[in-house]
Structure 1
């Protein structure tokens, strides 16, 4: 059974992902999590502390999913499959969490230290992609990894906003194949 803190964080992510950052208040989190009044503020005294807690929680949840998905990749086709699966997950079953991540990132873009956990996770994922591309023979794994991540982010935003059913695999395949091509 989830702890009070976990229930509050899960509810906070749902609120932000479904209603936006303005919905993130201690009282609304308590209500959404079916917790007694004041429970969320026991864990997160201020709104800034709540936002920071939610960002860390999202990063921890996403990291667990990424680690499971980031199995050894031995071929370009396997990398395409893994990246397609990750994008399907974050724009499908985990769409509210992904919306919350983007909303909170934009809200806290100028706040010192607010997104360090997310940036750390991004760095870990970028390193994994760069290493896979290098092992698969990419002539420029640094540029290729940044391009694949930027393309993936664009697909994610597109699917979360204007085109929920937009195909994923063709764009990922195009970038991966181009990244591995010898010029």
Structure 2
């Protein structure tokens, strides 16, 4: 059974992901989580603390999901499959969480003390992607990984805003194949 803190954080993510950052109040989180009034503020005294807590929660969940998805790959097709699956999840099943992450990033862009470093999470995924591209023979795996992640970010924004059914695999495949020597 989820703890009071976990219930509050899960509710906060859904509130932000579905209603935007303005919906993130202690009272609304308590209500959405089915908690007694004041429960969320027991864990997160200020709104900045709540935002920071939500960002850490999102990062922890995404890191766990990415770690599970980051299976060893041996072929370009396997890499394309894994990346396509991750993008399908973050824009489908986990779309509210992804929208919450983006909204909170923009909300805290000028308050670096209010947000945890997402750099570590990005670095982990960039490193994994670069390593896989290197194993597949990419001449510049770091540049290729960055291009692939930039393309992925564009796909995410596109699917979460104007084209929820936009195909993922063709764009991922294009960038992966362009990063590798011809076979």
TM-score calculated relative to the size of structure 1: 0.97
The aligned counterpart of 2:91 is 91
Structure 1 partner of 2:132: 132
> In the alignment, which residue of structure 1 is the partner of 2:179?
179
| 1:3-49 superposed Cα distances (whole Å, 9 cap, x missing partner) | 00000000000000000000000000000000000000000000000
Aligned residues: 182
Q: 1:117: how far off? A: 3.5
- Report how far residue 142 of structure 1 moved: 1.2
Is the Cα contact below 8 Å between 2:55 and 2:116 reproduced in 1?
no
- Structure 2 spans left out of the alignment, 5+ residues: none
The Cα of 1:111 is off from its aligned counterpart by 1.1
Q: Matches of 1:40 and 1:117 in 2, distance apart?
A: 23
Q: In the alignment, is the contact (CA less than 8 A) between 1:55 and 1:117 conserved in 2?
A: no
C-alpha separation in 2, matches of 1:115 and 1:41:
18
What is the alpha-carbon distance in structure 2 between the residues aligned to residue 110 and residue 80 of structure 1?
A: 35
In the alignment, which residue of structure 2 is the partner of 1:54? 54
Taking the aligned partners of 1:114 and 1:167, their CA distance within structure 2 comes to: 35
Match of 1:157 in 2: 157
Corresponding residue of 1:123: 123
Residue 118 of structure 1: how far off its partner (Å) = 1.9
CA offsets 1:131-178 (integer angstroms, 9 cap, x no match): 111111000111100000000000000000000000000000000000
How far apart are residue 110 of structure 1 and its match? Answer: 1.4
Q: Which residue of 2 aligns with 1:5?
A: 5
**Alignment check: 8 A CA contact 2:126 2:146 kept:** yes
1:113 Cα deviation after fit: 3.6
What residue in structure 2 maps to residue 146 of structure 1?
A: 146
Matched-pair contact (CA < 8 Å) for 2:11–2:32: yes
For 1:66, the equivalent position in structure 2 comes to: 66
Task: Please give the per-residue CA displacement for 1:79-107, whole angstroms capped at 9, x wherever unaligned.
Answer: 00000000000000000000000000011
Structure 1: tracts of 5 or more residues without a match:
none
Instruction: Please name the residue that 1:77 is paired with.
Output: 77
Distance in 2 (alpha carbons) for counterparts of 1:121 and 1:143:
18
Q: Counterpart in 2 of 1:111?
A: 111
Give 1:121 shift: 0.5
**CA contact 2:51–2:115 (8 Å) conserved in 1:** no
